[in-house]
A = this chain, B = another copy of it.
Amino acid sequence: MGETRFDIVAMGDAIVDVIASCDDEFLDTHGLPRGSMQLLSPEAADVLYAAMGQAREMSGGSAANSMAGIAAMGGKAAFIGQIADDQLGAIFRHDMRAFGVDFATSALSDGPPTGRCLILVTPDGQRTMNTAPGASHELTAATLDRDLIRDSAILYLEGYLFGPDKPRAAMMEALAIAHGAGREVAFTLSESVCIAARKEPFLAMIDDGGVDLLFCNEDEAIILTGLATLDAALAQLSAKVPTLVVTRGQAGALAIENGERVDVPAAPVGKVIDTTGAGDMFAAGFLTARAKGHDLKRCLETGGLAAADVIQRYGARPDGDMRKVVGL
């Protein structure tokens, strides 16, 4: 992989997180399942925002968080995502560049505003996400930088962006460009991919050999395959993707690659403040270690350390010296 300009280029939601604390009763009142992610209409987002307490804003987006993490751990990362030409878009772009992530997708000057994700954090640190995607779902194939994709060892696709038609079409085109250039394609599942309407095209994509490296958590593996046990789900998925990486929360993580399975325990964690970004930082750690040529076990452990770090504070992105945190 050493000959490419970037270790990885990601396509994902370009959104700003709006993070507020709340109690469990607030989630009940607003009918929000704990720990879930739902898409909100602009109107519903305004209603929920008005009801939320004081908030802090931080750039987010699952794959964007991962690219920030990779850059913070010393990897070479780029990002493709759609912001609008507005203040939140400027914040998103600033923060990507502040990490050293290449992010050059032009801002939309007409259309919906930059997307935001209203994140409610309960006292146990669990996050419930309510996304008003805005401009983020306006990403089209026309905006793709083909040379950038060809010049990145891995194309990383975010599940959240697999639902809406335009970004999904852009992803499929990017996948063809990447494979055409002999690059690997990684995909991170997200709850929303497992919803019936999105499940079929996704399963078709992996059946077609579209995914070289699949990230998911154990619930997603089970829901996606519709099988009763994790082992059955792992068997089915690992037969379809060369590298399968599964996070298991407090039980750690595992990977199956070319028939070899490696399990690692979770990294030690103090007080959990906000679980937002745990999966994103896990993927970032795994991929950075992989880009540096480490074995599967070390990749899983690096992911675990990065995830443990991010859940001990508010926000989904690295802070401080991440190379030291993960020992890379």
Contact with A52, one of B56, B59, B98 (Cβ below 8 angstroms): B98
**Stretch of A85-93, A184-192, A212-220, A259-267 at the chain-chain interface:** A85-93
Identify which of residues 41-67 in chain A touch chain B, using a CB-to-CB cut-off of 8 Å. 49-50, 52-59
Complex Cα distance A53/B97, Å? 9
Determine whether the beta carbon of B95 is less than 8 Å from that of A315: no
Number of interface residues of A (CB under 8 A): 28
Classify the interface of chain A: helix, strand, loop or mixed: mixed
Identify which of residues 85-117 in chain A touch chain B, using a CB-to-CB cut-off of 8 Å. 86-88, 91, 94-95, 97-99, 113-114
> Knowing A21-B319, A319-B21 touch, does A54 contact B87 (C-beta < 8 A)?
no
In the assembled complex, the CB of A9 is this many whole angstroms from the nearest CB of chain B, namely 20
A76 interface contact, C-beta 8 A: no
Number of copies: 2
**Which of A20, A98, A113 has the most B CB atoms < 10 Å from its CB?**
A98
Contacts of A317 in B (CB 8 A): 54
Complex Cα distance A54/B59, Å? 9
Determine whether the beta carbon of B94 is less than 8 Å from that of A50: yes
Contacts of A154 in B (CB 8 A): none
User: How would residues 212 to 234 of chain A score, 1 for a CB under 8 Å from any chain B CB and 0 otherwise?
Assistant: 00000000000000000000000
Determine whether the beta carbon of A98 is less than 8 Å from that of B319: no
Contact with A57, one of B21, B91, B114 (Cβ below 8 angstroms): B91
A68 interface contact, C-beta 8 A: yes
In the assembled complex, the CB of A71 is this many whole angstroms from the nearest CB of chain B, namely 10
Contacts of A86 in B (CB 8 A): 86-87
Contacts of A57 in B (CB 8 A): 56-58, 91
Determine whether the beta carbon of B21 is less than 8 Å from that of A54: no
Determine whether the beta carbon of A68 is less than 8 Å from that of B87: no
**Which of A18, A86, A94 has the most B CB atoms < 10 Å from its CB?**
A94
Complex Cα distance A300/B52, Å? 32
User: How would residues 17 to 30 of chain A score, 1 for a CB under 8 Å from any chain B CB and 0 otherwise?
Assistant: 01011000000000
Which of chain B's residues has its CB closest to A52's CB? Answer: B98
In the assembled complex, the CB of A198 is this many whole angstroms from the nearest CB of chain B, namely 30
**Which of A57, A86, A95, A317 has the most B CB atoms < 10 Å from its CB?**
A57
In the assembled complex, the CB of A207 is this many whole angstroms from the nearest CB of chain B, namely 39
In the assembled complex, the CB of A64 is this many whole angstroms from the nearest CB of chain B, namely 11
User: How would residues 292 to 323 of chain A score, 1 for a CB under 8 Å from any chain B CB and 0 otherwise?
Assistant: 00000000000000000000000101010000
Contacts of A55 in B (CB 8 A): 91, 94-95, 98
30 examples of A-B residue contacts, CB within 8 angstroms: A18-B91, A20-B98, A49-B94, A50-B94, A50-B97, A52-B94, A52-B98, A53-B98, A54-B68, A54-B94, A54-B95, A54-B98, A54-B317, A54-B319, A55-B91, A55-B94, A55-B95, A55-B98, A56-B56, A56-B57, A56-B58, A56-B315, A57-B57, A57-B58, A57-B91, A86-B86, A86-B87, A87-B87, A87-B88, A87-B114
Shortest 7 CB-CB distances between A and B: which pairs?
A: A57-B57, A87-B87, A54-B98, A54-B95, A56-B58, A53-B98, A87-B88
